[in-house]
Amino acid sequence: MIKDLGGRVATVWETLRPVTKKMLVGEMRSEPASPKSSRPHYDAHADWELSSLLSALDELSASNDLKNDASKMNEMSQLAAVCVRMLETQSASAEIFIQLATRAIRSNDFVRLDRLADRLAERYSASEIAEVIRQTDSPQIRAIASETLTMMPIPALEALLNDSLYEEIAEIAISRRAYEFESDEARAAIERMTFDDADERGN
């Protein structure tokens, strides 16, 4: 099937590790869930591989030649759906979230976008959510990530203040939590921030 799709898709497929191919084939066959201990290990490398394959499939889907071949279009759509499902359920990477959310927005799939927003809150760390805000150019994606970050535990937000990449993002989230959501804990965090700033100026 992969060879039939040709071009960049076939090239990317050849670069996949055997363990990643095994995961994809298993998902494509819709095999019954195997015991967790026997499933191939999903890791950051798998994230990158599936993301690259999905990008190649999306690029292929825009081809006029493919649009005229219903069989290949169906094969491509099935493989892309598997990549999306695996990334949605396994990844906790800012780059992957942006990729998946961008696809959902492009296809006006707001049900999927809502599901992605839920998973962002459930699975992603505060630093990865802040990274989504930092990296994306999409107002919609930034709004989703900002709303999610604002509702993270205050200690997790305060930890971001020590990272120059995320300090301003964290300050905004804490301020929103304090004044829009009337959080006493967030107000206390602002007081600590103000005290620390004054202490640094004093030194």
Whether residue 50 is predicted with pLDDT greater than 60 in this model: the reply is: yes
13-22, 37-46, 128-137, 144-153: segment of lowest average pLDDT: 37-46
Query: Do residues 13 and 3 make contact, with C-beta atoms less than 8 angstroms apart?
Result: no
pLDDT (mean) for 46-75 = 84
Per-residue three-class SS string for 37-86: HHCCCCCHHHHHHHHHHHHHHHHHHCCHHHHCCHHHHHHHHHHHHHHHHH
pLDDT digits 0-9 by tens, 3-20: 666 678 888 998 999 999
Structure-token pair, residue 146: 């900002």
Domain regions of the chain by residue span: 1-91, 124-203
CA–CA separation, 113 vs 104, rounded Å?
A: 6
CB atoms closer than 10 angstroms to residue 10: 14
CA–CA separation, 196 vs 135, rounded Å?
A: 28
Whole-model pTM: value is 0.87
pLDDT digits 0-9 by tens, 66-123: 667 777 788 888 899 999 999 999 999 999 999 999 999 999 999 999 999 999 999 9
State the chain's mean pLDDT as an integer: 88
Query: Do residues 177 and 151 make contact, with C-beta atoms less than 8 angstroms apart?
Result: yes
